[in-house]
Chains A and B, each alone.
Chain A
């Protein structure tokens, strides 16, 4: 029988990773809702967020918070650039979903290789945001970085909810997700909304990357595994539903943590993919039901 403290400890760690997967999954949903595109370059944004923050902090001595803010803004701009250079030309030609997926995957590889050439293949990490001993909940240690992850995730979700509910741009993006043609007929600039969705999604990815780097590491090639996990989170939550994606991320993080505890870390991806298959067979609409 496994030690309950150990299980609780592993699950707590899974909660943090799950939040990150959830944020990446929301990024998938934001773009999908605005355009019907599944953006597999999402992992590149995660990698760039951590990498740029690390470079600004370590190489240029910029304090952590401003470095993170600059990294998020720069990655958001890169998201818009990706939309303009790769996605929009294909979108204008009514390219199929398959072509879009391939194109964004190719963009992911280009970003990955460019990063390799620019900064090398050495893994990099960030210091924890608040360097204090972990809090103890009974015998379970809760790192302050986990609290940062939980708090930032809650803040991001609240901000996104407010954006979509109270701002005209947010409402216009929702309208695009419901009926793109009807939105265009009202004069809503659908293409600008597409660019905005890429910026938002990239900023989300970068935030996730910055939050997770202190507890793991970042390197030129961490993007694809994160993208796959975020994609699974989005499917499990109900594709196109941001809250669902976050719940899917949490579930994925907990399942992976449970698998690590019970079966060893080598089988965590098997557990993730098994969970995906279970959902696809038994509840293909995901936890909240697919948006489309």
Chain B
């Protein structure tokens, strides 16, 4: 296991975090860190526990251990309180509100903002600048859009909450490579603007192109922690799978 280098202070840190479903432990004690300005990718084969790790960070599953965010523990079992701290998840399957319009979805992303219209407009302008297609489809029902557009909406909606860190679970799921590349390009833009991102992804090559650091998860435990540029071939990565 190689230790990775750091560009900044840890904004999110798990300490011996475990997760279980019923009596079955699916995540061994796990320590990961995301530092300011980083895009950290969690890679690994299907069933390695990647999505579970994200859910455990948010306290959505039964966990032990601690999750520190900006130096303070994150609340457990209260997604609303976690979101209020600025930790926002774009879930697997996107979790958009399909029977509602794009605009309504974006409004709900900024729910905590209340009636601060100028700030809402500022955030909305930023999201529409990043994803102009959402602007063209403001009045369209979210569920009637293509998978790529729905993923853009899910990310845009998360950004409307002005997150301090963005967690993404398999954003490329079910998307064509061209759309995946487009979405990852936007994530790279957000990373360059300084938004810390923790990305769970199965399509390793795409994730590696923009990640600063990588954790490889295998059979519910961290098999490796690497700088992204340490991985130059598929074999470099594959050696950690199922180890």
Contacts and interface: CB of A to CB of B under 8 A. Distances in A.
A187 B83 contact: yes
B78 to A, nearest CB: 8
Interface stretch (A60-68, A145-153, A170-178): A170-178
A250 to B, nearest CB: 24
A261 interface: no
Contacts of B161: 186-187
Given A171-B107, A175-B108, A178-B100, A184 B95 contact: no
B19 to A, nearest CB: 16
A172 B108 contact: yes
Interface in A136-181: 168, 171-172, 174-175, 178-179, 181
A178 to B, nearest CB: 5
Given A171-B100, A187-B84, A189-B80, A182 B107 contact: no
Interface in B57-104: 58, 60, 79-80, 83-84, 88-89, 91, 95-100, 104
B99 A186 contact: no
Given A188-B80, A189-B80, A190-B80, A183 B99 contact: no
Contact of A186 (B60, B83, B114): B83
B112 A185 contact: no
Contacts of A186: 83, 88, 108-109, 111, 157-158, 161
A168 B58 CA distance: 25
A184 B114 CA distance: 16
A181 B95 CA distance: 8
A182 B100 CA distance: 13
A181 B60 contact: yes
A174 B97 CA distance: 9
B91 A182 contact: yes
Nearest to B79: A184
Interface in B108-139: 108-109, 111-112, 114
Contacts of A183: 97, 108
B79 to A, nearest CB: 4
Contact of B100 (A175, A187, A191): A175
Interface string B29-72: 00000000000000000000000000000101000000000000
Contacts of A182: 91, 95-97
Contacts of B79: 181, 184-185
B111 A187 contact: yes
A237 to B, nearest CB: 17
A183 B157 CA distance: 11
A45 B240 CA distance: 61
Interface string A50-73: 000000000000000000000000
Given A171-B100, A174-B100, A178-B98, A185 B108 contact: no
B80 A184 contact: yes
Contact of A178 (B99, B112, B158): B99
Most buried by A among B80, B84, B100, B158: B80
B88 A171 contact: no
Contacts of A191: 80
Given A172-B111, A187-B111, A188-B111, A179 B83 contact: no
B69 to A, nearest CB: 15
A278 to B, nearest CB: 28
A185 B79 CA distance: 6
Contacts of B108: 168, 171-172, 175, 183, 186, 188
Interface string B136-163: 0000000000000000000001100100
Contact of B88 (A178, A181, A185, A188): A185
Contacts of B104: 171
Contacts of B84: 187
Contacts of A184: 79-80, 83
Interface of A: 168, 171-172, 174-175, 178-179, 181-191
12 contacts: A168-B107, A168-B114, A171-B104, A171-B108, A174-B97, A175-B97, A175-B100, A181-B60, A183-B108, A185-B83, A186-B108, A188-B111
- Give me the 10 closest cross-chain CB pairs, A-B, nearest first: A182-B95, A184-B79, A187-B83, A187-B112, A178-B97, A175-B97, A188-B111, A184-B80, A175-B108, A185-B89
Given A179-B97, A189-B80, 10 more contacts: A172-B111, A178-B97, A179-B95, A181-B60, A181-B79, A181-B95, A182-B91, A186-B83, A187-B84, A187-B111
